[in-house]
């Protein structure tokens, strides 16, 4: 049989690729150069503090893409993605703790918090974290495995909609409480901090920071392409169909359980990548990342930017995080109210989100 070349949707439109390339040049080349080249007092210079801050925002954007993948496309609202993000961060943090060596406050082989707890030897679940490759693997495996097991039971039992969202919220709360305990072995409420070096490079060194920032930018672009690859495939259309009418998808011959479990686990893996890049740039990972409010904030990013747009979700992460940075300085007590109002306001008046609405208008906006 003469095989037809076959059709598949392009990953990005020509304009999309152009914008993607523009982002790549700006984020990976231009910005680092503007940090490294100009004189220290030049107005053009990107200041020192900005680099890890931007790196942090890039990590948030990855999380937003991961949340949009399941919520915007498959209609699964997670209010617990902070856990997957934090597990990625903890895995990297454990490596960073081990690479402090004997330079800690207590000059011990063990991380300081273990000395403080009077532990004599390394717990078994810290084995292997001396190696970067092992930590990198765990940054994927821990959130991936948790998501797989959680998703297996939840989707198998056909828990969905608001019930699913509530148990994800409960999950992140449970993990927060677990990680708050000193005896759990991850530094209790202080978490993991005082990192010194990564792969031998000092984390205080501006070049290392630029390196981490660039790695985050590349990772974000990679995550974006993976997400685009999923949503432009036929599988992406099955996910949208699950969102619109799961029963009908089953009656059409698809095992929706497998599809949901796949995209849910993938989403958690992507959050793990973001968390692993986040920890060294922020210099700390602690259980507050698993606060229920953090996970809700992640959903708000996506709602504000626009569900089912990917680009919008990333932009939403930046818009909301920028607003948060400003508000938590100007009026710290008000932030949670603002966040809630933002969620309600966007849902009522801008259901497609900021970027989603712009995109719909750009397309000529039918109806």
User: Which residues of this chain interact with other proteins, rule CB under 8 A?
Assistant: 3-4, 6-8, 230, 233-235, 237-238, 240-241, 243-245, 247-256, 258-259, 262, 367
Q: Kindly state the DSSP code that residue 29 receives in the 8-state scheme.
A: I
Q: Kindly state the DSSP code that residue 44 receives in the 8-state scheme.
A: T
Between the CA of residue 353 and those of 215, 247, 259, 309, what are the distances in Å? Answer: 29, 28, 26, 9
**Contact of 201 with 266, CB cutoff 8 Å:** no
Nearest approach in angstroms of CB 48 to other proteins is: 43
- Provide φ and ψ at 49, rounded to 5°: -65, -25
- Return the H-helix or E-strand segment holding 285: strand 284-285
Sign of the C-alpha dihedral computed for residues 260, 262, 267 and 271 taken in this order: positive
- Return the H-helix or E-strand segment holding 204: none
Nearest approach in angstroms of CB 185 to other proteins is: 36
Q: How far apart are CA 52 and CA 50, in angstroms?
A: 6
β-strand partners of 149? none
Q: Looking at beta carbons only, is 256 or 267 nearer to other proteins?
A: 256
Q: Looking at beta carbons only, is 246 or 297 nearer to other proteins?
A: 246
Nearest approach in angstroms of CB 84 to other proteins is: 20
Compute the radius of gyration of the chain from its Cα atoms: 21
Q: Looking at beta carbons only, is 123 or 351 nearer to other proteins?
A: 351
Nearest approach in angstroms of CB 311 to other proteins is: 18
Nearest approach in angstroms of CB 26 to other proteins is: 31
Tokens 């503007």 appear where? 34
Q: Looking at beta carbons only, is 245 or 340 nearer to other proteins?
A: 245
Tokens 């997400």 appear where? 227
Between the CA of residue 192 and those of 65, 114, 287, 333, what are the distances in Å? Answer: 26, 11, 10, 27
Nearest approach in angstroms of CB 74 to other proteins is: 12
Q: Looking at beta carbons only, is 193 or 233 nearer to other proteins?
A: 233
Tokens of 152: 């297996």
Q: Looking at beta carbons only, is 130 or 240 nearer to other proteins?
A: 240
**Contact of 60 with 317, CB cutoff 8 Å:** yes
Q: Looking at beta carbons only, is 9 or 181 nearer to other proteins?
A: 9
CB-count exposure of residue 233 (10 Å: 0-12, 13-18, 19+):
middle
- Which residues, at least 6 apart from 67, have a Cβ–Cβ distance to it below 8 Å? 78, 81, 267, 298, 299, 301, 302, 313
Q: How far apart are CA 67 and CA 308, in angstroms?
A: 10
Q: Looking at beta carbons only, is 56 or 243 nearer to other proteins?
A: 243
Nearest approach in angstroms of CB 86 to other proteins is: 27
Tokens of 311: 């680009």
Nearest approach in angstroms of CB 182 to other proteins is: 41
Nearest approach in angstroms of CB 15 to other proteins is: 19
Q: Looking at beta carbons only, is 179 or 259 nearer to other proteins?
A: 259
């Amino acid at each position: 049989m003469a095989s037809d070349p076959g059709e598949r949707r392009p990953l990005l439109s020509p304009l999309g690729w152009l914008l993607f390339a523009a982002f790549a040049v700006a984020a990976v080349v231009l910005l680092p150069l503007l940090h490294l080249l100009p004189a220290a007092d030049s107005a053009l210079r990107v200041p020192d503090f900005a680099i890890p801050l931007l790196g942090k925002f890039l990590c948030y954007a990855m999380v937003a893409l991961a949340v949009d993948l399941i919520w915007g496309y498959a209609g699964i609202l997670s209010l617990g993605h902070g856990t997957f993000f934090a597990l990625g961060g903890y895995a990297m943090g454990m490596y960073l703790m081990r690479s402090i060596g004997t330079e800690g406050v207590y000059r011990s082989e063990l991380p300081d918090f273990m000395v403080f707890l009077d532990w004599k030897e390394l717990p078994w679940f810290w084995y292997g974290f001396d190696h970067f490759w092992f930590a990198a693997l765990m940054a994927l495996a821990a959130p991936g495995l948790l998501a797989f097991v959680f998703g297996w039971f939840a989707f198998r039992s056909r828990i969905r909609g608001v019930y699913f969202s509530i148990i994800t919220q409960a999950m992140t709360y449970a993990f927060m409480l677990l990680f708050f305990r000193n005896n759990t072995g991850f530094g209790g409420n202080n978490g993991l901090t005082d990192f010194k070096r990564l792969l031998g490079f000092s984390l205080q060194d501006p070049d290392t920071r630029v390196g981490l920032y660039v790695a985050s930018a590349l990772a974000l672009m990679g995550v974006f392409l993976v997400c685009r690859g999923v949503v432009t495939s036929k599988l992406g259309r099955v996910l949208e169909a699950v969102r619109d009418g799961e029963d009908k998808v089953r009656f059409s011959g698809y095992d929706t359980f497998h599809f949901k479990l796949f995209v849910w686990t993938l989403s958690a893996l992507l959050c793990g990548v973001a968390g692993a890049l986040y920890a060294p740039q922020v210099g700390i990972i602690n259980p507050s990342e698993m606060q229920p409010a953090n996970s809700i904030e992640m959903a708000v990013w996506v709602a504000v930017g626009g569900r089912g747009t990917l680009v919008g979700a990333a932009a939403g992460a930046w818009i909301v995080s920028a607003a948060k940075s400003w508000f938590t300085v100007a009026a710290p007590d008000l932030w949670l109210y603002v966040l809630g109002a933002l969620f309600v306001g966007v849902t009522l008046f801008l259901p497609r989100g900021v970027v989603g609405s712009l995109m719909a208008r750009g397309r000529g906006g039918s109806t």
